[in-house]
Amino acid sequence: MKNIVITIARQYGSGGRTVGKMLADELNIHYYDKELSRVASEISGINESLFVDSDEKVKKSWKNKLSLISTIYDGNVKKPGDADYTSEENIFSYQAKAIKMLAEKGEPCVIVGRCADFVLKDYENALRVFVHADHDFLMQEAGKVQSLKGKELEKFIAQIDKGRADYYEYHTGHNWTDALNYDLCLDSGKLGFEKCVEAIKAYAKVRFGEDCFD
């Protein structure tokens, strides 16, 4: 099997995480979601709780565009003893380093969220996917795991997605939902999860060769 790294960004309620797990299970390859915090902690020496606390969230106010420019990930990491060693920016940088290590490891895998599409934008073996859906489908799926209903659930979904969008823009300088960031955008509400998996596999075979999963 070729060393293909499939990154999946997703709206809350779209089932992107489910699609990623189904794909990884079907191909019998590694699946990385929250486990990335552990991997990043191991290579950095920074307590795992700090990675968990910063997971796809931005704590600082970053409305000033000049400050935004200085936060965009550039591939550098600070070392123990450096100023801002445990800053949000350096925590992201070590997480990005972990993502790159996985992509270079030689084993195929699925990585969910964490701006992995941006981190791996120059990697020829990266297949970058965005999973989205319409309002009703998002509400339906989110309602299966949340006790909220109606406007409260709608507000909750919007808050989660705003957090992900802010996190993405803060660290990449790009719009999270811009199709130009991805190789493949899938509407899970129209396709369903199983067909999303099939669409990703079909795209991979066209791009990487029919034998890419053999």
- CA-to-CA distance for 154 and 162, rounded, in angstroms? 12
pLDDT for the residue numbered 66: 47
Amino acid at 133: A
| pTM, 2 dp | 0.93
pLDDT for the residue numbered 143: 96
Closest CA to 182 of 167, 172, 194, 170: 172
Name the pLDDT band for 65 (thresholds 50, 70, 90): low
- CA-to-CA distance for 103 and 183, rounded, in angstroms? 17
Percent of the chain residues past pLDDT 90, beyond the cut: 85
pLDDT for the residue numbered 60: 65
> Among 32-36, 66-70, 143-147, where is mean pLDDT lowest?
66-70
- CA-to-CA distance for 14 and 124, rounded, in angstroms? 27
Closest CA to 137 of 120, 157, 117: 157
Q: What is the pLDDT of residues 153-179, one digit of tens each?
A: 999 999 999 999 999 999 999 999 999
Tell me the pLDDT of the chain averaged across its residues: 93
pLDDT surpassing 50 at residue 113 = yes
pLDDT for the residue numbered 34: 92
Task: Please report how the helices 135-142 and 150-172 are oriented relative to each other, as an axis angle in degrees rounded to 10.
Answer: 100
Give the pLDDT mean for 135-146.
97
Give the pLDDT mean for 133-161.
97
- CA-to-CA distance for 211 and 56, rounded, in angstroms? 34
- CA-to-CA distance for 44 and 83, rounded, in angstroms? 15
pLDDT surpassing 50 at residue 61 = yes
> Among 23-27, 49-53, 69-73, 191-195, where is mean pLDDT lowest?
69-73
Q: What is the pLDDT of residues 76-111, one digit of tens each?
A: 999 998 888 998 899 999 999 999 999 999 899 999
Q: Dihedral, CA atoms, 33, 39, 40, 45, nearest 10 degrees? A: 150
Strand partners for 128: 7
pLDDT surpassing 90 at residue 54 = no
Name the pLDDT band for 149 (thresholds 50, 70, 90): very high
Name the pLDDT band for 67 (thresholds 50, 70, 90): low
- CA-to-CA distance for 194 and 12, rounded, in angstroms? 18
Q: What is the pLDDT of residues 19-53, one digit of tens each?
A: 999 999 999 999 999 999 999 999 999 999 999 99
